[in-house]
Amino acid sequence: MGSPNILLTRIDNRLVHGQVATQWNGTLGSNLILVANDKVSGDKMRQGLMDMAAPSGVAMRYFSLQKTIDVIGNASEKQKIFIILESPQDALALVKGGVPIKLLNIGNMHMAEGKRQVATTVAVDDDDVAAFRELQNLGVELQIQRVPSTPKEDPNKLFK
């Protein structure tokens, strides 16, 4: 099984939207955006909306977490992959499933009931923090950064 060319894995609870995908894609130079999300993989309407927000010339894939785990090893080296996830729990499921994620960019995690704001665009609850800690223990580097033009924030903010 080959090792897929994953340029970056990003958590953004809006997934592919607006300028964000385009800005990251411009920096990364990916040619395949993989949205790994159990709900979206079966939702053609949301896929259509994300296709409209996608950068031109980039292939879009919408896979469930399990399908991602099953097929990512078949990716060709020419596929420069940008994975977009909704949550740290999903990232942890992929890593535990053998997806070789080395760097996890934490972009947007919205405020919600029971969450606390820890960085400019990141709010977490205890379950999120536990997932991030486990990811770190599994050797994944955590990076808080909204878009490439904004400064990176200290990932230790997640654990305060």
Determine the distance from the C-alpha atom of residue 18 to the mean position of all C-alpha atoms in its chain, rounded to a whole number. Answer: 16
Contact of 103 with 59, CB cutoff 8 Å:
no
Q: Degrees (nearest 5) of the Cα angle 56, 58, 61? A: 130
Active-site annotation holder among 14, 17, 67, 133: 17
* Cα–Cα distance measured from residue 31 to residue 51, given in angstroms and rounded to the nearest whole number: 14
* Cα–Cα distance measured from residue 99 to residue 156, given in angstroms and rounded to the nearest whole number: 24
Query: What does the block give as tokens for 122?
Result: 């990141």
17 included as an active-site residue: yes
Q: Which residues are known to be catalytic?
A: 17
